[in-house]
Structure formats: C-alpha cells, structure tokens
Chains A and B, each alone.
Chain A
Amino acid sequence: MIRKRIHVLFPLLTGTAAWGLVAVMLSLILGGTLAVWSQLSEASLLGGRGTSSGPLDLGGARLSALLVGTAARTLLMSLAVIPAGILTAVYLAEYAPAGARTPRILRRLIEVLAAVPSVIFGLFGLGFFVGVLGGGLDRWAGASISPVWGRPALLWASWTLALMTLPVVVVATEAALRSVPRDLRLAATALGATRLQVLVRVLLPHALPGMATGVILAIGRASGEVVPLLFTGATVATQGSLALNERFPDLAYQVFVWATQSPDPEASRPGLLVGVWVLVFLSLMLNVAAAILRSRVAPVDADRL
C-alpha cells in the first residue's frame, strides 16, 4: 500500500517542484509586465503628469541616460574581455604544448577566477584599479589635490566587470575551438596553410557561434550586476557623465537605490518598476539568444559529421 502511494507521489512531488520553478519564472515575467502596464496606463510615463519633462522621465531620472550609461560600461567591458578571453582560449586550445604544465596552471587559475564572488571583484576594483592604478597615474602626472583618475570611474568599473566575466568567455571559446572537427584542421594543414592561417580561416569561423554564446552570456551576466560597481563607479542618473574618469549613470544601480533608499517611494515607483522590467527582459533576451545559438550550433555539427 505504502509502496503504491510512493509510486504515485514520486512523479507528483518532483513534478510540483519543477513546474513550481517554471511558475516562478513566468510569474516574474508576467507580474513585472502587468505592473509596468498598470503604471503605463496611469500615463505617468508618457508625460501625463505636469512635472515630467519627457517620455522617458521617471521620478527625476531619465531612463535614456541610465540605458546609455549601462550600455557604455558594457561596451567598454566587452572591448577588454573579448580580445583577452578569446586569445587566452586560443592559447589554451591551439598554441599551448599539449600536456605541459603552463596551460594546466592557467586553466586552474581561470577556474579559480570563476569561483570569486562578485563582491570581491568590487574590493579588487576599488583597491587596485582605483587606488593603485588610478592613484599611481595621478601621482605620475603630478595631479593636484583633487584626483583625476584615482577615483571611482567608468573605466575602472568596466575593467572590474571584464575581469569578472573573463572565465565565461574563455571557457566557452575554448570549448568551441575544441569542438572543431579534427579533419578540418588536418585538411587545412594538408593544403599548406600555416598555423595562423588555419586559425583565422578555419578554426575561428567554425567556432564563431560558440564564442558568440560565451560573449552574450558574459554581457548578460554583467548587464544586471551591481555589486562590483558599488564602489568602482556607478551612480544615479542625475549625477553621472560618460567621461572615462567619472562616475556614470547605471540602470541596475539606480534600481537598487530606488528600491532601498528612495526618499519618496511613491514618486520613484514607476521608475523602479520600469527599471526592473527592463533588467529582467534584457537578461532574458540575452540568455534566450545564447541558448538558441547553442542549440542551433550543436545539431548541425553532429549532422554534418
């Protein structure tokens, strides 16, 4: 009897857990959309209230400024992390002598980097990028009392994020490079191509979708991240600028400020909801794009070989 009951309960309980998680995800998306929709219908977003100055004015902060700030720091991060990550993966997959100690140590180091909590990157960014690099730059340039580079800034924040997302890009690119069929490599070599030619004309084009997956995941992880930016350069929309050595407006940081320390919760509510909605959809889109890219790539390879 008991055995029979467990027989029924097992799929029931496990199914509840799985579908419950799906429900959490869906309610997050639907609930967010509905909340934003209700705010929209109150017309506070579209300039209905007398005080708001434009379509994207949210409680004194312009959504466009926040988006531009977030885009700028993500772009700067990509400029640093894509070359560094891809070249490191190329070294690990192609140039490193097989079975040698150096690539093994490097691979371990990157695993370790992936294990570092995000708040530690903030610590490092503040201490090293802002303090040592920026402070050193100021001292070298003989800056006066007010620091020029030795303060939280867009550049340092982007580099901190780049360090944080480096393992994602390296691991994805290395896996993609290793998945290139051996025959292709041999065929290219047999045709007389040098190592560099094989890499640029055969391996990289073939590994492109895998690399793109890694880059998209890295951008997705970085775009909603706040903690490393808390003391390396993020600020609210009304204060930031887009200069490399100044604090920049950031959407995720603004959401955090609105949610926890807003002086007037009612006024910041529409902005908060829209901000949360944008963040959720941004990460959703990027993650779905990465998943589709990955699932599209693998079967094609399997079919062709």
Chain B
Amino acid sequence: MLSKWTRCADDVRIVAHRMNPVLKNSTSRFGPSLIQRSRAAGWDAWAGRVVAGVAAGVGISTVLVFAFLCLEAWPALVGSFSGDPSPTTLSQGDLDRVPADELRKYLGLSPAEFSTKTREQLRLLAEVRAETLAEERGQETSSGSPADWRHLILPRSGHGNDPAAYLWQPSGGVPRFNLVPLWWGSLKVTWIALLVAVPLAIAAALYVSQVASRGLRAWLKPIIALIAGVPSVVMGFVALTVLAPAIQRVFGTPFPLNGMVAGFAVGLAIVPVIFSLAEDALSAVPRDWSQAALALGATPWQAVRTVVLPAAAPGIGSAMLLGMAQALGETMIVMMASGNAPTLAWSLWDPVRTVPVTLALELGEAPRGGPHYRVLFLLGFLLLCLSVVLHGAAGWIRRRHAQVRGEAEP
C-alpha cells in the first residue's frame, strides 16, 4: 500500500518536473485564467484535427495503392482489353494532309529522327507501317488481343506448325503473355526456399527456446534475427559469387544460375522471419508444461514433441505463412541468382523466372497503357492479393490462437 502511494507521488513529481512551464503559467491562486484555458483548448482542437487529418491521409494512401494497381490492371483483369485503338492506316494521299506531329507518332519516330527524314523516306516508312498494321489487325481479329484471359492462361499455337505452348515473350513481333511459366517459376522458388528455411528455422528456434540457457538465448536470438537486416542485393551477390559456383562444383549442373540456387538463397533470407516468430511461439508455451512432462519421465525430445510443439503449432504455422509470403515477393535475390528464363521445365536445376522478377525486369520498357504494361500490372495485382491473403491468414491464425488461450491481442 505504502509503495503504491510513493510510486504515485513519484509519478506526480516526474510529471510536475516535465511540465514546469505549464505549472508556472497556470497555478495562479484561482487556477488558470479563462483566456489561458480557451487558448489551450483551441490548440488542442487544432492538434486533434491535424493528427486525424494525417491519419486519414495515411489510410487513404494505403487504399490508393490497391485502387491504383487494380485500376491499371482493370482492362486485363476483366478481359476487355482491346489494345490502343489501332490507328487508321494512312494512304499515300493522306501523307500531306495529316499534321506533322500526328504523322510522327503514327510512324513511331522521335522528333529528332523525324526532322532528319526526307519526304521519300517518310513515304516508305508509311508503307511499312501500313503493312504491319494490316498484319496486326489480322492477328487480332483471328484470335483476340494478346492480353485476353484465354491467352494469359491457355497455351497458344505459334506460326505455322509450331505446337501450342505456354510462352512468355513480351517483345516478339506477336507478343505472348502467358502467365503460367512465371507462376510456375515462383512456385518452384518458393517451395525450395520453404524446404530449406522451415527445418532450419524451426530447429534453431527449438534450440534457442528449449535447449539454450537464458543468457545464451539473449545473444543468439538477436544475432540470428540480424540476417533479416542484410540487404537483399547483398544476399543476391553472395548467391551469385559464392553459392552458385559452389553448387555447380558439387552437383555439376549445366547452368550456374538456376532455380535451386535462387531458392536456396531466398530460403536463407527468410530463415530469420520464420525463426523469430516460431521462437516467440515456442517461448510463449508455459515453461511449467514442459517441466511437468520432464518430471513424468519424458526425454527433452518427447517433451517437445508431445507438449511444446502442439501448443506452439498455430504460431509456427503462421510464421511459415509469413515466410512463404516473403519468399513469393522476393525480387532482388531471385533476379540475381535464378538465370531469369521463363520456362516451364520440371527440373529444379533449370533457370527460372518468377513473377516479381518479371515486373522488375520489364516494367521499365513497357510503354504506358499498352498490353504489356497492363499485363504486368495484372501480375502485380495478383501478387499483391496473394501476399495480402497469406499475411491475413497468418494474422487470423495468430489472433484466433490468442483468443483460444485467453490472451488479449497486444
């Protein structure tokens, strides 16, 4: 009782000290003057408005990220993409009537190039352009736009006798935007990463939470968590210069950069995520439980297997989901270590290309508003949704688990 009062007095002293200027102004004999009070209230109201305004701005910009991606991907998303309204073909006689600027755009020339061309050259260019336009129009009427859902998912036959194939060839004469090879690459890299990271992270978490002493734990946990702070470009560099040659020497693979190298490096990068969260979940299991199991004659492994792991399972599961989300979105490491070929091979030793890498490599070249740009935003939107769903599932498991155990959410 006494200690509570002294503590309270202590707090008042601290606050009184910090608020010294306020006290000086306001403890007149009759309390703060009305003017002082109303001025303070005015400031208060303004502060409240500013704070709420900034918070609203932050909320709106978060919504904006989603809305913008969805908007940019919309034509591809609903499959109503018709490309740019393809320009009408200009005939010979039109060449002189059309304004110079429009003609330049129609021919796809830069102003500098345009100004150097003679009239004869322009006429030839216009002929070539008219031919390509006619060809493209023929393509489109026969099979629809390349960004149609049919072509995004199903295989499409090429010229002549080529068999139908799943192709991602954004910069061919006839662009192919099949999403299947990209998602297949993402799937391969993510699974390899999880296969590497999950056993490693959970074993390390078990050691730190169950075997190591308290003092050791205080050191080990932050050191392993530091791996998360290593920039991904550094991780990619290590994969490129250390991991890839080593793996090639040991396994004798045909390609130095392949899905396995990338998956391994990504796995290393997501270990700290899974480790930290799994360790938290394991440490949250009351020590008494495992002690009771040990007292009943269980070995440490039996205590862990029958008591600690089941109790921490939801936490570990949510950690794995978060690790998976991060592996799925990892860009830099994969870009540097995977070889970046969009193939649909079964072999893990082939180069792969994942969805985020495709975005990073090609967005700079895709003309704004064209089919390539729309399909890239569609990929980004799908990736975003998947990532948010994985995070949401992880959060849901964690919250539900906390409810079951009767803990309030922090």
Contact = CB atoms under 8 A, between A and B. Distances in A.
A148 interface: no
Interface in B1-49: 7-8, 11-12, 14-16, 18-19, 22-23, 26-27, 31-32, 40-41, 43-44, 47-48
Given A123-B380, A188-B19, A230-B364, A7 B301 contact: yes
B54 A87 contact: yes
B364 to A, nearest CB: 5
Contacts of B391: 111-112, 114-115
Contacts of B236: 256, 259
Contacts of B229: 220-221, 283-284, 286-287
A117 interface: yes
Interface stretch (B79-87, B89-97, B220-228): B220-228
A84 B210 CA distance: 41
A115 B301 contact: no
A89 to B, nearest CB: 9
Interface stretch (B144-152, B166-174, B199-207): B199-207
Majority secondary structure, B binding face: helix
B328 interface: yes
B234 interface: yes
B301 A197 contact: no
B231 A127 contact: no
A22 B224 contact: yes
Contacts of B222: 291
B231 A224 contact: yes
Contacts of B231: 223-226, 252, 279-280, 283
B329 interface: yes
A13 B203 contact: yes
Contact of A231 (B54, B234, B329, B364): B364
Contact of B203 (A14, A113, A116, A287): A14
Nearest to A113: B62
Contacts, number: 282
Given A18-B212, A127-B377, A279 B234 contact: yes
A87 B50 contact: yes
Contacts of B22: 191-193, 197, 201
A176 B111 CA distance: 57
A55 B52 CA distance: 50
Interface in B298-356: 299-302, 304, 325-326, 328-332, 335-336, 356
B7 A11 contact: no
A187 B336 contact: no
Contacts of B8: 183, 187
Contacts of A291: 222, 225
A280 B206 CA distance: 28
B304 to A, nearest CB: 7
Contacts of A190: 12
B34 to A, nearest CB: 14
Contacts of A191: 12, 15-16, 19, 22-23
Interface residues of A, number: 98
B300 A11 contact: yes
Interface string A119-133: 111111011100110
Interface stretch (B63-71, B126-134, B177-185): B63-71
Interface in B211-240: 211-212, 220, 222-227, 229-234, 236-238, 240
A84 B58 contact: yes
A71 interface: no
A22 B210 CA distance: 17
Given A14-B211, A22-B220, A201-B22, 17 more contacts: A17-B201, A21-B271, A88-B54, A91-B54, A92-B55, A112-B62, A112-B388, A116-B65, A120-B387, A121-B65, A184-B14, A191-B23, A224-B231, A227-B360, A255-B237, A288-B226, A305-B7
Interface of A: 3, 6-7, 9-11, 13-18, 20-22, 24-25, 28, 83-85, 87-88, 90-92, 94-96, 105-106, 109-124, 126-128, 131-132, 145, 163, 166, 170, 181, 183-184, 187-188, 190-197, 199, 201-202, 205, 220-221, 223-227, 230-231, 252, 255-256, 259-260, 272, 276, 279-280, 283-284, 286-288, 291, 305
22 contacts: A3-B302, A20-B204, A21-B227, A83-B54, A85-B58, A91-B51, A95-B55, A106-B59, A110-B62, A113-B65, A115-B392, A117-B325, A117-B330, A120-B69, A120-B387, A122-B363, A127-B69, A187-B15, A190-B12, A192-B31, A196-B47, A224-B234
